[in-house]
A and B are shown apart, each in its own frame.
Chain A
Amino acid sequence: MTPFLEVRNLSRSFGRTRALDQVSVAISPGAVHGFIGPNGSGKSTLIRMITGLERRDTGEIFVDGEPQPRLTAAGARRLGIELVPQELALVPLFKVWENIVLGGEDNAIRLLKADARAKARAVLDELGLDIGVDEDTLTLDPGEQRLVMFARTFHRRARLLVVDEPTAGLGEKDSRTVIEALKRLKAKGLTMIFVSHYLSEVLEVCDEVTVMRDGRVAVRLAGATLTLDHMVHEMAGVHAERAIHNRKSAERSKLVIEGRHLAMPPLRQLNLKLYENECLGFAGLLGSGREKAIDVISGAARLWGSVRVRGEFIETPREAVRAGVGVLNGSRSLSIVPGWTVLKHVSLPSLEQTSRKGFIDSRREREGADAATRRLRVKGTLEDELEDLSGGNQQRVLLARWLMCGSDVLLIDEPCVGVDIAARAELLAAIREFASSHSVILASSDPMDLVECCDRVLCLRKGAVVKELAGDEITEKAILRATMTSQGTVLEPA
C-alpha cells in the first residue's frame, strides 16, 4: 500500500544549527503517527515542512506517491493536509459556526449563513461533539475550543490532520475531552500526525511513534516496542546518566522562603520551602504551571497564596527586591529596556540604595556595576547597549544586577533560552557558584539545567507537584518520567 505521506532525507538548517538532518518517515493511510522528542529536536520544523509552512534545503516529500517539489501552505491544504496549531487560532467574538467555516467558505464573496450553519452543524454531529453552533466561542471550555479547531479542519475535508500539542495548557478534564475526540477521529479512519510532550497520551492514541533527537530520527517504535519505558529511554538519549553536580544534601536548618497555597492558572497549588545554600528546581512542561512558578513566588502574578522570606510576607517584586530576592527571567522581553546600556540595566534595582537624596551618584553607580560585571566576567563595556550583547552575556549582566544589589536569594526562570552551548555552561556555573553561598530557585523546561544545578527538584504536572526528587535521584530520566507520564504510571526512578 502506498503511504499517504512519505518524506525522504529532509534537511533544513537555520544559520549554523541543523534543525533537521536527513529525516525520512512514511505514514500509511489511516495510521496515527506520533512524534516525540525534547525541545529543539526538530519536531516542529518537520511538521511545518509537511504543512508547507517551511521550505526545505534538501529532500523530497510525496503525497499519495506523487512528489511535491514545491509544497506551499495553500498547496498542502489543497492536498488535504491540515494543521491544528498549538495556539488557539479562533476568533473569540465569533459564534462557533463562524469559526468552523472561517477560511473554508464555499463562496469567496458571499457568506451563505443558513448553509454555513447547517454545514457546521453537520460537522459537529459527524464528530459527535456536544457543542452548539450558535454558542459564543468565548464561553466554551478551553478543551471545547480545541475541538472547534478540529471541527474547522474537518469542515475542510482534511485527509491528514497534523495535531501539534493539543493538550498543552489544558487541565486533566479538558485534556480527556480532546483525547477522546482524537480517538473518535482515529476510529473514523482519519490519518493523523500527533505531536505531544505527554507520553501517556501519545501511547493512548498512536499506532507508531517516531522519537526525534537533535534533528534526527532516533528510533521508530511500534507494536511491542511502543512502551512508556522505551519512549523515556530514547528521549533522554546519550547524556541520560550524566550527573555533573556534586549535590549538597542541604542541612535544612535555615528556612529562607516559605510559600503556601500558591496558585496562578495553570498552576493549581504549590507549597514550597527553600533552605539556605540550596538550589531548588522546578521541572514541568509548558502548561504544567512551571512557567508560573517564579511569578507566583516573586509576586509578579499571583492569584492566591502567600510567600514569606525570612518571616516577612512579600506581595510584589518590589517587596521581594527589598527583602533581598532578585528575579532573573530568561525571556528578554521581560528584562531588557530597549536602548539602555549595560550600566543602566545593572544599576536599576540598586539605584535607591546608591543614590544620595534621590540624586543618582554616578561614581558609586559605575563602581558598583563595574565590580559586579567583572565578577561575572561580562564581556564588553558598561556603555554597550544590552540588546547588542549575546544571549549568554545578557543573562550574566542581568545576574550581575543582583550581585550589585546585594541580593542573597535568586528566582531564575528559563535561564538558558537563546543561549548557546558554551555560554550556557558558563551561565550555569555562575548560578551554581551563587547557590553555593546563597539560595536559588530555578525553573526550567530543560531537565539538564536542573540536573546540573539543583539540590532538589519539584516536578510539576497539570498544575500540581507530582514528585519531589532530591540528591542523586535527580536525573534527566527521572524528571522526564515525572513530568511527561501520567500520574498513575509514574515509574520509580531507577
Chain B
Amino acid sequence: MDDTSIRASADALNLMASDRSPFDTNDDIRRERKPPDRNILDRERIIDGLKEWGLPIVFAAILITFSILRPSTFMTAQNAINVINNSSSLLLFSLAATLALVIGEFDLSFVAVADLVGILVGILVTSYGWTSGAAILCALVFGLVCGAAIGIVNGLFVAKAFVPSFVTTLAVGSIAAGLELALQGGITGGMKQISVIALPESLQDFGASTFFGSPIKWTVVLVFGFTALLWVALRRTTPGRQAYAVGGNPMAAYLAGVPVAALRIVAFALIGVIAALAGSIALAERGYFNMASPPLLLPAYTAAFLGAAVLAKKKRFDVLGSAFSVFVLLVLNNGLSLMNQPRWIGSAISGLVLLVAVLLNRPKNRKV
C-alpha cells in the first residue's frame, strides 16, 4: 500500500467517524429512575431524607431530650464548654480511623501508639529532666517522630509485604502496648502514673490554657485546626483524591498510575503522627495513668462509620462527617452521665444508632 492510499484510507476512517450520526439526543442511556414524588409522605422520600439528615435529626433529638430531662445542667454554656474541651482525644482518634478507612484499610494500633508516646514524652520531661521550654519542644517532636516511625512500619508491612492491615496493626499495637508497660518502670518514684502536677509548668500551661480569653482550650483549637487541615488535604488535593481512589478500588487506582504503595505508607505515617499528637495532648491535659486512655478505639471507628453512613450523601468516609459524629457521641454520653446513667447505656445506644445508619445505607441488589 503506497502513501496516497494510506492517506485515502485514513480519510475514509475519519469520514466514517464524523459521518456516523452522533448519538440521538433524546435517547437517554441513563437507567430510568423513579421521578421524585411530590407527596411529602412518600416512603422513599422519607427514607432518602433520613439518610441525608439522619444524623442532625438524631443530634437534635438528643439535645431536646436532655434539655427537657435535665434543664438546669444540660443546656448550659458550661456544659457545652465541658463537652468541647474534652473532645480532643476522641476527635483525633476518629481522624486516624477515618484516614485508615479512606485508603480502605484498618488501623487497630493508634490508641496503643498514643499511650506509648504519652508515657515516652512524660518520662522525658519528668524523669529525664527535659524541663526547659526548648527541651519540652524536643520531647514533643521526638514523640511525633516516634509515632510517624511506627506508622511507617505499619505502612511498609501493608504496602510492601501485603500483610492485611488488620493483622499488621493488631501486632504493632500489641508491641506498642508492651513497650508502654516496659516504660512504666522509668517513671520516678516507682509510680504507675504521671500526674499533671508532676509535669513541668510550661507543659501544664499548654494543656490548660485557653484560647485568647475564650473558655475553649488551646489544645482543642489545635485539634480543630488539624481537623480542618486534614479535611482540605483529603478533599482538595491530588494525594487526597488519589487516597480515596486507592480505598475505592486499589487495582483501578494502580492501573491509572496512582502511586498506591507510597500513598498507603504516607497515610499510615500520618495516622502515627495523629496518634502521637493525641498521646501528647492527653498527657498535657490529664497526665499519664496506668490504665492510660479510656477505650476509645471502637468509638473512633463508630464515629467514622456513622459519619460515612448518614451524613455524607455519597457514603464516603469524610473528616467532617466523622468530626460531627464524634460530637453526637460525646453529647449523648455527657447527657447520660448527667442523668447518672451507667456508662454501658451510652455505648449501647451509639451502637444501635450505627446499626440503624448502616441498615439505611445497605447496598441494594446483593445476593451474597
Which residue numbers of A lie inside 8 Å of B, CB to CB?
A: 246-249, 298, 300, 317-318, 320-322, 327, 329, 333-340, 344, 348-349, 351-352, 355, 358-360, 377, 379-380, 384, 388-390, 393, 401, 426, 429-430, 432-433, 436
Contact = CB atoms under 8 A, between A and B. Distances in A.
Interface stretch (B36-44, B149-157, B246-254): B246-254
A355 B258 CA distance: 14
Contacts of B212: none
6 contacts: A246-B12, A336-B252, A351-B241, A359-B238, A377-B22, A384-B30
A390 B32 CA distance: 12
A269 B238 CA distance: 38
B362 interface: no
Given A247-B1, A298-B255, 8 more contacts: A337-B245, A337-B248, A337-B249, A344-B241, A348-B242, A377-B22, A429-B17, A433-B14
A358 B237 contact: yes
Contacts of A401: 256
Nearest to A334: B251
B228 to A, nearest CB: 15
Contact of B9 (A246, A334, A377): A246
A327 B256 CA distance: 7
Contacts of B23: 377, 379
A339 B254 contact: no
A355 B238 contact: yes
A248 B5 CA distance: 9
B264 to A, nearest CB: 14
B236 A360 contact: yes
Contacts of A377: 22-23
A429 B16 contact: yes
B316 interface: yes
A327 B255 contact: yes
Contact of B248 (A248, A338, A352): A338
Interface in B4-56: 6, 9-10, 12-14, 16-17, 20, 22-23, 28-31
A248 B209 CA distance: 77
Contacts of B315: 339
Nearest to A411: B255
A317 B254 contact: yes
B237 A355 contact: yes
Interface residues of B, number: 38
A338 B317 CA distance: 13
Given A335-B252, A429-B16, A388 B1 contact: no
A220 to B, nearest CB: 37
A430 B37 CA distance: 40
B291 to A, nearest CB: 40
Nearest to A298: B255
Interface in B211-266: 236-239, 241-242, 244-245, 248-249, 251-259
A321 B252 CA distance: 13
B30 A318 contact: no
B314 interface: yes
A248 B259 CA distance: 37
A479 B23 CA distance: 33
Contacts of A321: 256-257
A26 B220 CA distance: 80
Interface string B329-364: 000000000000000000000000000000000000
Contact of B29 (A349, A352, A390, A430): A390
Contacts of A426: 20
Nearest to B232: A359
Given A329-B255, A379-B23, A429-B20, A360 B245 contact: no
A338 B31 CA distance: 17
Contacts of B254: 300, 317-318
Contacts of B245: 337, 340, 344, 348
Given A318-B259, A349-B257, A384-B30, A337 B16 contact: no
A359 B23 CA distance: 35
B35 to A, nearest CB: 16
A316 to B, nearest CB: 8
A432 B13 contact: yes
A359 B236 contact: yes
